A and B are shown apart, each in its own frame.
Chain A
Amino acid sequence: MRQRSLIAITAALSAGALTLTACGSRDSDDKGSDSGGTTVTIGIDAPLTGDLSALGLGIKNSVDLAAKTANKQKYVDGITFKVEALDDQAQPSSGQQNATKLVADKSVLGVVGPLNSSVAESMQKVFDDAKLVEVSPANTNPALTQGTDWATTKKRVYTSYFRTATTDAIQGPFAAQYLINDAKKKKVFVIDDKKTYGAGLAGTFTEEFKKLGGTVAGTEHINPDSKDFSAIATKVKNSGADVVYYGGEYPQAGPLSKQIKAAGAKIPVVGGDGIYSADFIKLAGASATGDLATSVGAPVEELASAKEFVANYKTEGYKEAYEAYGGYSYDSAWAIIEAVKKAVDDNDGKLPDDARAKVTAAMQNVSFDGVTGKVSFDEFGDATNKQLTVYAVENGAWKPVKSGTYSG
C-alpha cells in the first residue's frame, strides 16, 4: 500500500514537472546560429504565456526581427546577435529570476523588457549591479526612471535602465486632455487594478481631469484575478458618469467594458496602452465600439520609418502580431545593437573585456531614426520622443483618432 501511494505521488509530480518543462522548451526554438565571430545575446523578458502573452509575444518577435536584421546587414563587424527569450508571466518574482539568469549568461550584453512596470521594479537592481543594460519597450511608470518622488524631485536611481516608451506622467494627462477638450466628457468614473501601472495611470489621469474642470463620479479598485465585475458595472450605471477611465490591462478591461455596457451604461471605456491590444476587442465583444485607448508614439502603420519594419515582420512570417509594443521593442533592441557597435568600434573592432559597462555607457548617447521616430534618451533614461496617440474601437479594430505631443 505504502509503495503504491509513493508511486502515485511520484507519477503525479513527474507528470506535472514534465508538462512544465514542455512549456519551457517551447520558447527556446529560434536561435539564429550563424557562424563566425563573436556571438552577443540580447536577452528578452516578457510575459510569453498567460493573460498578457499577446503583448509579450509581440515583443519577443520584434526583438528577434531586429537581431536577424542586424545579422543580415552585418551591422556590427564580427558580431552575430542571437536572442534568448524568458517568460516572466507578468510576475515580479519570475522577472527577478529571469534577470539573475540573464546576468549569469556572460554573452548577454543587453536585455529588452519587461512589459510590466511592477516586474521592472524587481529586475532593475539585479541588472544595475551587473552593469547590464536594460531597455524596456513598455514600462510607463515614472518612478522607474525618476525615482519614487518623481512628482517633486526627480532623481535617477539606476543608470543601466532605459526605456523607449513614454511615461504615465504623460499618458494619463494626455487622455484627460483629449476627453475634456475633444470628446467633451465631464464626469468620469475611475477604475484601476491597484498594480503599479494601473494605479499610476489612474492617478495622473484623475489629477489632470480635475484640473481641467471635470468631475469624478466615483472610484473603484478591482481585483485582477476576478472576472465578475457586475457589482461595479451597476455602480457605474447609477453614478451618471459619461465616461469610464480604466487604469490596467486588457484581460480585465475587456470583460469590464462588456459588463458595464451589459449593465446598461452606454458610455465609452478609456484606458492606456495596457488595453491597446486586439485582445481587448476580442474580450469586450461587439459593444466595445467607441472605447478609447491612448498609446505611446504615433501609429506604427503610418510612419514612413515603420513601413520597412511592418514589411519585414510580415516576411519573417511570425505567428503572432507585433501588437502595441512591436515598434518600441524593435527600437529597444536596435538601441542595444547600436550601443554594442559603439563599444566594438571604440575597441578596434573587438568586444572590450568590460563589454557590459561599455555598452551601458554607450546607451546614454545612442541616437538613431527608429521605427517609432527618433530614438534617444534623456538624463533619466527616458525616451526623448514624447508622442502619443488616441485610438478608438471601430468595426472591431483600433483606429487612430488623434496623435499629438503632450505639453504639460
Chain B
Amino acid sequence: MNELPQQLVNGLLLGSMYGLVAIGYTMVYGIVQLINFAHGEIFMTGAFGALSVYLWVLPNGTTMWIALPLMLVGAILVAVLVAIGAERFAYRPLRGAPRLAPLITAIGLSLALQQAVWAWYPEATSARTFPQIEGGPFHIGDVTIQTGDIFLLAAAPISMAVLAYFVMKTRTGRGMQATAQDPDTAKLMGVNTDRIIVIAFALGAVFAAIGGVAYGLKYGQIDYRMGFILGLKAFTAAVLGGIGNIYGAMIGGVVLGIAETLATAYIADIPGMDKFGSQSWADVWAFVLLILVLLFRPQGLLGERVADRA
C-alpha cells in the first residue's frame, strides 16, 4: 500500500494545529513587535476551559454535537480572558521598556500559568482525558481520517477565512493594519491603539483556544505542559511563514507539520541516514528546514507583514 497520502494527511493535520496557534504569535508580533512566549499556555488554558465546560457545566452524557459548540465557547472565553489579563497586567506596563523586558516577563508568565493549572485545576498534575466524538473513522481510498480530526480539518480553513475577512474588510481590521504599519501615526489619525492591541491579543487567543480543543479531540487528553512544545513549534511556524503575516502563519504551520511527518516516515529509507530518520529526529529536521529558509529567504516563506502593503 502506498503510504504517502496518509503521511501527507498526518502532516497536514499536525500542521493545521501549529498554524492555529501560530496566528496568535504572528498577530501580536505584527502589531507590538512582542514575541508572546506565553501564547502556548493560552492554548493550554483554552483546552482546560473546554474540559471545564464539559465536566461542570453540561449534564452528564451530553452528546458531543451539543457539547462541542459550548465547549468551544468555554475554551474561547477562558483563553481570551487569560490573554487580555496578560496584556493588561504583564505587557502593557512594560510597553516602551527595552525589548528584552517583556520577553522575560513572557517566559515568567508562561511558567506561572503552567504552575497555576498544575496547582489549582483538579487532578491536573497528570494528563486528563478529553471527551471524544463518537463514530468513525472515515476512509477515503488509502487514507484514514479520525472523527476528531474532522474538526481540525474544518476549523483551520474556516478560521483563516474569518480572520482574513476581519482584517481586510472591517474597520477594526483596518485599524490593526494601520497600527502595525506605524503605531504613532495611527494614533494621530484617531486609531485607539490600546484597544487594537487588546483585540490582537484576544483574536490570537480565540484561535489558540480552537487549537486547544482540536488538540484534545485529536489526542484524547490534555495536560498542563501541552502548550510548551506546541507553542515553540507554532512560533517556529510563524517565523517560517514570515512573522507578522497571518497567511504565513498557517502556511508555515502546514509546511512544518508535513516536513516533520515526512522526515519521520522517509529519511530512514535514504541510504546511510537510517540513524537520523526516527521521530525523535523530526524536530531536528524541522529546525534544519527553518534555518535553510531563513538563510535563503530571511523574511520567511511569505515575507513579513503583508498588512504593510495591503
B113 to chain A, nearest CB (A): 9
Given contacts A230-B10, A231-B10, 17 further A-B contacts (CB under 8 A): A8-B90, A8-B94, A9-B104, A9-B105, A9-B108, A12-B112, A15-B112, A50-B125, A51-B223, A193-B280, A194-B280, A220-B279, A221-B279, A221-B280, A238-B3, A258-B219, A264-B137
Q: Does residue B151 face the partner (Cβ distance < 8 Å to A)? A: no
> Once the chains bind, are B108 and A279 in contact (CB under 8 Å)?
no
Q: Does residue B220 face the partner (Cβ distance < 8 Å to A)? A: yes
Convert A1-39 into 0s and 1s, putting 1 for each residue whose CB lies closer than 8 angstroms to a CB of B: 110110111011101100110110000000000000000
Q: Which residues of B contact A50 (CB under 8 A)?
A: 125-126, 225
Q: In the assembly, what is the distance between CA of A227 and CA of B282, in Å?
A: 13
- The residue of chain A having its C-beta at the shortest distance from the C-beta of B96 within the complex is A1
Q: Does residue B288 face the partner (Cβ distance < 8 Å to A)? A: no
Convert A247-290 into 0s and 1s, putting 1 for each residue whose CB lies closer than 8 angstroms to a CB of B: 00001001100100011100000000000000100110100000
Q: Which residues of B contact A321 (CB under 8 A)?
A: none
Q: Does residue A313 face the partner (Cβ distance < 8 Å to B)? A: no
Quick one: which of A19, A193, A219 contacts B119, CB cutoff 8 A? A19
Q: Which residues of A contact B126 (CB under 8 A)?
A: 50-51, 53-54, 251, 279
Q: Which residues of B contact A238 (CB under 8 A)?
A: 1, 3
Q: In the assembly, what is the distance between CA of A220 and CA of B275, in Å?
A: 10
Q: In the assembly, what is the distance between CA of A221 and CA of B282, in Å?
A: 10
Q: Does residue A223 face the partner (Cβ distance < 8 Å to B)? A: yes
> Once the chains bind, are A231 and B93 in contact (CB under 8 Å)?
no
> When A15-B112, A53-B125, A222-B278 are in contact, do A234 and B96 touch as well, CB less than 8 Å?
no
Q: In the assembly, what is the distance between CA of A63 and CA of B8, in Å?
A: 49
Q: Does residue B160 face the partner (Cβ distance < 8 Å to A)? A: no
| A interface list, Cβ under 8 A from B | 1-2, 4-5, 7-9, 11-13, 15-16, 19-20, 22-23, 49-51, 53-54, 193-194, 219-223, 225-232, 234-235, 238, 251, 254-255, 258, 262-264, 279, 282-283, 285
> When A12-B105, A12-B112, A262-B146 are in contact, do A231 and B90 touch as well, CB less than 8 Å?
no
Q: Which residues of A contact B146 (CB under 8 A)?
A: 262
> Once the chains bind, are A283 and B220 in contact (CB under 8 Å)?
yes
Quick one: which of A23, A221, A282 contacts B278, CB cutoff 8 A? A221
Q: B7, B89, B126, B215: which has the most chain A beta carbons within 10 Å?
A: B126
Q: In the assembly, what is the distance between CA of A222 and CA of B260, in Å?
A: 12
Q: Does residue B33 face the partner (Cβ distance < 8 Å to A)? A: no
Quick one: which of A5, A13, A194, A221 contacts B108, CB cutoff 8 A? A13
Quick one: which of A49, A194, A229 contacts B125, CB cutoff 8 A? A49
Q: Does residue B154 face the partner (Cβ distance < 8 Å to A)? A: no
> When A223-B282, A235-B3, A251-B127 are in contact, do A19 and B112 touch as well, CB less than 8 Å?
yes
Q: A8, A11, A53, A220: which has the most chain B beta carbons within 10 Å?
A: A8
Quick one: which of B116, B219, B264, B281 contacts A232, CB cutoff 8 A? B264
> Once the chains bind, are A223 and B226 in contact (CB under 8 Å)?
no
> When A220-B278, A234-B3, A262-B137 are in contact, do A225 and B115 touch as well, CB less than 8 Å?
no
> Once the chains bind, are A5 and B101 in contact (CB under 8 Å)?
yes
A223 to chain B, nearest CB (A): 4
B1 to chain A, nearest CB (A): 6
Convert B89-109 into 0s and 1s, putting 1 for each residue whose CB lies closer than 8 angstroms to a CB of A: 110011011000100110011
> Once the chains bind, are A9 and B280 in contact (CB under 8 Å)?
no
> When A234-B3, A238-B3 are in contact, do A12 and B220 touch as well, CB less than 8 Å?
no
Q: In the assembly, what is the distance between CA of A231 and CA of B280, in Å?
A: 12
> When A234-B10, A283-B221 are in contact, do A227 and B265 touch as well, CB less than 8 Å?
no
> When A1-B97, A222-B278 are in contact, do A8 and B7 touch as well, CB less than 8 Å?
no
Q: Which residues of A contact B11 (CB under 8 A)?
A: 231
Question: Which residues between 168 and 223 of chain B lie within 8 Å of chain A, taking CB atoms?
Answer: 215, 219-221, 223
> When A1-B96, A19-B115 are in contact, do A255 and B219 touch as well, CB less than 8 Å?
yes
Q: Which residues of B contact A262 (CB under 8 A)?
A: 137, 144, 146
Q: Which residues of A contact B137 (CB under 8 A)?
A: 262, 264
> Once the chains bind, are A19 and B116 in contact (CB under 8 Å)?
yes
Quick one: which of A16, A220, A227, A255 contacts B112, CB cutoff 8 A? A16
Quick one: which of A8, A11, A13, A230 contacts B261, CB cutoff 8 A? A230
> Once the chains bind, are B280 and A12 in contact (CB under 8 Å)?
no
Q: Does residue B159 face the partner (Cβ distance < 8 Å to A)? A: no
Quick one: which of B104, B119, B221 contacts A22, CB cutoff 8 A? B119
A54 to chain B, nearest CB (A): 6
> When A231-B10, A282-B129 are in contact, do A8 and B108 touch as well, CB less than 8 Å?
no
Q: B94, B96, B127: which has the most chain A beta carbons within 10 Å?
A: B127
Q: Does residue B82 face the partner (Cβ distance < 8 Å to A)? A: no
Q: In the assembly, what is the distance between CA of A285 and CA of B1, in Å?
A: 27
Q: In the assembly, what is the distance between CA of A264 and CA of B139, in Å?
A: 10
Q: Which 3 A-B pairs have the closest CB atoms?
A: A221-B278, A231-B264, A230-B10
Quick one: which of A11, A22, A234, A282 contacts B265, CB cutoff 8 A? A234
11 pairs, A vs B, C-beta closer than 8 Å: A8-B94, A20-B115, A49-B125, A194-B280, A221-B278, A225-B229, A230-B261, A231-B282, A238-B1, A282-B127, A283-B220
> Once the chains bind, are B7 and A234 in contact (CB under 8 Å)?
yes
B155 to chain A, nearest CB (A): 17
- The residue of chain B having its C-beta at the shortest distance from the C-beta of A264 within the complex is B144
Q: Does residue B118 face the partner (Cβ distance < 8 Å to A)? A: yes
Q: In the assembly, what is the distance between CA of A48 and CA of B168, in Å?
A: 50
Q: Which residues of B contact A194 (CB under 8 A)?
A: 280
Q: Which residues of A contact B225 (CB under 8 A)?
A: 50
> Once the chains bind, are B279 and A226 in contact (CB under 8 Å)?
yes
Quick one: which of A7, A232, A258 contacts B279, CB cutoff 8 A? A232
> Once the chains bind, are B14 and A228 in contact (CB under 8 Å)?
yes
Question: Which residues between 53 and 106 of chain B lie within 8 Å of chain A, taking CB atoms?
Answer: 89-90, 93-94, 96-97, 101, 104-105
Q: In the assembly, what is the distance between CA of A11 and CA of B85, in Å?
A: 14
Q: Does residue B13 face the partner (Cβ distance < 8 Å to A)? A: yes
> When A19-B119, A235-B3, A235-B265 are in contact, do A285 and B279 touch as well, CB less than 8 Å?
no
- The residue of chain A having its C-beta at the shortest distance from the C-beta of B228 within the complex is A225
> Once the chains bind, are B220 and A8 in contact (CB under 8 Å)?
no
> When A49-B125, A228-B14, A230-B14 are in contact, do A223 and B280 touch as well, CB less than 8 Å?
yes
